[in-house]
Amino acid sequence: MTTANDVLAALQSAFPGVIEEAKVGPERQLWATIKPDRIVDVCKYLRDNHSFDHYTGAVGVDKIDEGLFEVTEMLASHGAHQVVALLKVKTKRDGPSVKSLTGLFWNANWYEREIWEMLGINFEGHPELYPLLLPDELVGVWPWRKDFKGYPDYNTAERAIERLTAEGYTEYSIPPTEAEVKAGTVQKERPKYPTFREREEMEIKGESEMILHMGPQHAVVPGPFLLDILVDGERVKKAFLDVGYIHKGIEKILENRTYMQGIPITDRLCYMASLTNNEAYCGAVERLLGIEAPERAQYIRIILEELSRIQSHLLGTAEFLTLIASAVYSPFLYMIIDREDVLTCIESVTGARINHSFVRFGGVRNDLPDGFKDMTLDTLKMIREKTEEYKELFLSDSIYRKRMEGVGVLSPHDARRLGVSGPPLRASDTPYDMRREDPYLLYKDLDFDVITRKEGDSKARVEVRLDEIFESCYIIEQCLDQIPSGPIMAEGIPKKIKPEPGEAYYRVEDHRGEMGFFVVSDGSDKPVKVKARGPVYAYMQALPPLLEGVYIADVVAIAGSMDACTSEVDR
Amino acid sequence: MVLSAITEFAAQEPKIYGLVIGLIAAAILAAVINVVAMLLVWLERKVMGDFQSRYGPNRVGGRWGVLQLGADAIKLFTKEDIIPRGADKPVYVWAPIVAVATTMLVAGALPFGALIIDGREIPLVVANMDISAFYIEAALSIMAIGAFMAGWSSNNKYSMLGAFRGIARMIAYEVPMGICVISVAIMAHSLNVVEIVEAQSVWFAFAQPIGFVIFAIALITDLGRMPFDQTEAEEEIIAGYNTEYSGIRFGLLYFQEYIVFLLGSILLVHLYLGGWKGPVIPVISFISPMIWFFMKLVIVLVALIWIRVSLPRFRIDQVTDLGWKILLPLSMVNLVWAVVVGMYFA
CB B86 within 8 A of CB B137: no
Q: For chain A, state the CA radius of gyration.
A: 24
Contact of A200 with chain B, judged by CB distance below 8 Å, is answered with: no
Q: Average pLDDT, whole number, for chain B?
A: 85
B48, B54, B316 ranked by CB distance to A553: nearest: B316
Nearest to A282 by CA among A554, A543, A53, A508: A508
Contact of A10 with chain B, judged by CB distance below 8 Å, is answered with: no
Show which residues on chain B lie within 8 Å of chain A, measured between beta carbons. Answer: 48, 51-54, 157-158, 161, 164-165, 226-227, 229-230, 233-238, 308-318
Q: What is the pLDDT of residue A221?
A: 65
> Residue B227's closest chain A neighbor by CA?
A325
pLDDT band at residue B330, thresholds of 50, 70 and 90? very high
Domain count across chain A? 2
User: In this complex, how many residue pairs, one in chain A and one in chain B, have their CB atoms less than 8 Å apart?
Assistant: 81
Quote the domain boundaries for residue B66.
1-78
**For chain B, what percent of residues have pLDDT higher than 90?**
9
B42: Cβ contacts below 8 Å, ≥ 6 apart:
B57, B65, B66, B68, B69
- Do A212 and B158 lie within an 8 Å CB cutoff? yes
Higher-confidence residue of A466 and A187: namely A466
Q: Given a cut of 80, is residue B76 above it in pLDDT? A: yes
pLDDT band at residue A157, thresholds of 50, 70 and 90? low
CB A269 within 8 A of CB A534: yes
End residue of a domain, out of A138, A157, A184: A138
Domain count across chain B? 2
pLDDT band at residue A188, thresholds of 50, 70 and 90? very low
Report how far residue A325's alpha carbon sits from residue A310's, in angstroms, rounded to the nearest whole number: 22
Nearest to A204 by CA among A194, A215, A189, A192: A194
Nearest to B164 by CA among B245, B97, B227, B232: B232
Q: Which of residues 66-125 of A touch B (CB under 8 A)?
A: none
ipTM over 0.85? The verdict is no
Which chain A residues contact residue B311 at CB under 8 A?
Answer: 325, 397, 399
The reply to whether B95 and B171 lie within a common domain is yes
Across A160-173, average pLDDT:
51
Nearest to A113 by CA among A123, A104, A125, A124: A123
- Do B236 and A553 lie within an 8 Å CB cutoff? yes
Q: Given a cut of 50, is residue A187 above it in pLDDT? A: no
Distances (CA, A) of A10 to A5, A7, A49, B120: 8, 5, 10, 101
The residue type found at B208 is: Q
A318: Cβ contacts below 8 Å, ≥ 6 apart:
A329, A331, A332, A334, A335, A336, A339
Please tell me the least confidently modeled range out of A6-10, A106-110, B144-148, B297-301. Answer: A6-10
Shortest CA gap B310–chain A (Å):
7
A531 forms bridges with which residues in the sheet? A518
pLDDT band at residue B1, thresholds of 50, 70 and 90? low
pLDDT tens for A60-107 read 888 888 888 889 988 888 878 888 888 888 888 877 888 888 888 888
B258: Cβ contacts below 8 Å, ≥ 6 apart:
B37, B38, B40, B41, B44
B339: Cβ contacts below 8 Å, ≥ 6 apart:
B183, B186
End residue of a domain, out of B33, B58, B78: B78
Shortest CA gap A218–chain B (Å):
7
Q: Does any domain span residue A323?
A: yes
Nearest to A467 by CA among A342, A325, A310: A310
Shortest CA gap B299–chain A (Å):
20
Contact of A382 with chain B, judged by CB distance below 8 Å, is answered with: no
Contact of A398 with chain B, judged by CB distance below 8 Å, is answered with: no
Distances (CA, A) of A42 to A25, A47, A114, A468: 19, 8, 23, 37
The reply to whether B65 and B114 lie within a common domain is no
Which chain A residues contact residue B227 at CB under 8 A?
Answer: 399
End residue of a domain, out of A118, A138, A158: A138
- Do B161 and A212 lie within an 8 Å CB cutoff? yes
Q: What is the pLDDT of residue A171?
A: 45
Site from B53, B228, B235, B311 to mutate, A interface, most A CB atoms within 10 angstroms: B235
Q: Given a cut of 70, is residue A170 above it in pLDDT? A: no
Instruction: Return phi, psi of residue A240, to 5°.
Output: -125, 130
Please tell me the least confidently modeled range out of B9-18, B143-152, B249-258, B316-325. Answer: B9-18
Q: Which helix (H) or strand (E) holds B32?
A: helix B14-51
End residue of a domain, out of B59, B78, B97: B78
Q: Does any domain span residue A283?
A: yes
The reply to whether B69 and B101 lie within a common domain is no
Distances (CA, A) of B253 to B148, B151, B302: 12, 11, 22
B164, B165, B229 ranked by CB distance to A326: nearest: B229
The reply to whether B130 and B43 lie within a common domain is no
Q: Given a cut of 70, is residue A193 above it in pLDDT? A: no
Q: Which helix (H) or strand (E) holds B141?
A: helix B132-153
Q: A68-76 and A84-92 as β-strands: parallel, antiparallel, unpaired?
A: antiparallel
The reply to whether A287 and A419 lie within a common domain is yes
The reply to whether B192 and B129 lie within a common domain is yes
Q: Given a cut of 60, is residue B63 above it in pLDDT? A: yes
Q: Given a cut of 50, is residue A172 above it in pLDDT? A: no
Report how far residue B131's alpha carbon sits from residue B192's, in angstroms, rounded to the nearest whole number: 5
Q: Tell me the CATH number at A62.
A: 3.30.460.80
A234, A326, A397 ranked by CB distance to B235: nearest: A326
Q: Which residues of B38-51 are buried (b: 16+ CB within 10 A; e: fewer)?
A: bebbbbbbbbbbeb
pLDDT tens for B251-278 read 888 888 888 889 999 999 988 888 888 7
A354: Cβ contacts below 8 Å, ≥ 6 apart:
A271, A274
Shortest CA gap B228–chain A (Å):
11
Q: What is the pLDDT of residue B300?
A: 92
Q: What is the pLDDT of residue A385?
A: 92
The reply to whether A130 and A276 lie within a common domain is no
pLDDT tens for B193-228 read 888 888 888 888 888 888 899 999 998 988 888 788
pLDDT band at residue A184, thresholds of 50, 70 and 90? low
Residues in chain A: 571
The reply to whether B239 and B322 lie within a common domain is yes
Report how far residue A37's alpha carbon sits from residue A30's, in angstroms, rounded to the nearest whole number: 20
The reply to whether B249 and B325 lie within a common domain is yes
Nearest to A281 by CA among A254, A299, A306: A254
Three-state DSSP state, A20: strand
pLDDT tens for A466-493 read 999 999 999 999 888 888 888 888 888 8
- Do B235 and A324 lie within an 8 Å CB cutoff? yes
Q: Given a cut of 60, is residue A182 above it in pLDDT? A: yes
The reply to whether B259 and B340 lie within a common domain is yes
Site from A212, A326, A338, A341 to mutate, B interface, most B CB atoms within 10 angstroms: A326
Shortest CA gap B164–chain A (Å):
9
pLDDT band at residue B314, thresholds of 50, 70 and 90? confident
Contact of A330 with chain B, judged by CB distance below 8 Å, is answered with: yes
Q: Does any domain span residue A236?
A: no
Nearest to B300 by CA among B215, B198, B210: B215
Contact of A208 with chain B, judged by CB distance below 8 Å, is answered with: no
Q: What is the pLDDT of residue A150?
A: 61
CB A324 within 8 A of CB B43: no
Q: What angle do CA A395, A401, A407 make, to 5 degrees?
A: 120
Contact of A395 with chain B, judged by CB distance below 8 Å, is answered with: no
Q: Given a cut of 70, is residue A149 above it in pLDDT? A: no
Report how far residue A134's alpha carbon sits from residue A120's, in angstroms, rounded to the nearest whole number: 12
Within 10 Å of residue B331's Cβ, how many Cβ atoms? 24
Q: What is the pLDDT of residue A239?
A: 87
Which chain A residues contact residue B236 at CB under 8 A?
Answer: 220, 552-553, 555-556
Q: What is the pLDDT of residue A176?
A: 52
Shortest CA gap A459–chain B (Å):
14
Q: Does any domain span residue A173?
A: no
Q: A68-76 and A54-63 as β-strands: parallel, antiparallel, unpaired?
A: antiparallel
Q: What is the pLDDT of residue A562?
A: 84
Half-sphere exposure of B195 (CA within 13 A, CB side): 15
Three-state DSSP state, B158: helix
The reply to whether B202 and B245 lie within a common domain is yes
B52, B158, B165 ranked by CB distance to A330: nearest: B52
The reply to whether B299 and B210 lie within a common domain is yes
Q: A97-99 and A122-124 as β-strands: parallel, antiparallel, unpaired?
A: parallel
Quote the domain boundaries for residue A326.
250-570
pLDDT tens for A488-540 read 888 888 888 888 888 888 889 888 888 889 999 888 888 888 998 888 888 88
Report how far residue A380's alpha carbon sits from residue B38's, in angstroms, rounded to the nearest whole number: 44
Across B87-98, average pLDDT:
90
Q: Does any domain span residue A219?
A: no
The reply to whether A409 and A545 lie within a common domain is yes
Nearest to A443 by CA among A305, A260, A267: A305
Which chain A residues contact residue B53 at CB under 8 A?
Answer: 333-334, 337
- Do A403 and B315 lie within an 8 Å CB cutoff? yes
End residue of a domain, out of B49, B78, B107: B78
The CB-based long-range contact list for B45-53 (8 Å cut-off, 24+ gap) reads B47/B302, B47/B305, B47/B306, B48/A328, B48/B305, B48/B308, B48/B309, B51/A330, B51/B305, B51/B306, B51/B309, B51/B310, B52/A329, B52/A330, B52/A333, B52/A334, B52/B309, B53/A333, B53/A334, B53/A337
Shortest CA gap B236–chain A (Å):
6
CB B187 within 8 A of CB B339: no
Q: What is the pLDDT of residue A164?
A: 54
The reply to whether B55 and B114 lie within a common domain is no
Q: Tell me the CATH number at A505.
A: 1.10.645.10
Q: What is the pLDDT of residue A173?
A: 47
The residue type found at B188 is: A
- pTM of the complete model beyond 0.90: no
Q: Average pLDDT, whole number, for chain A?
A: 83
The reply to whether B234 and B300 lie within a common domain is yes
Enter the DSSP assignment of B285. Answer: G
Contact of A552 with chain B, judged by CB distance below 8 Å, is answered with: yes
pLDDT band at residue A169, thresholds of 50, 70 and 90? very low
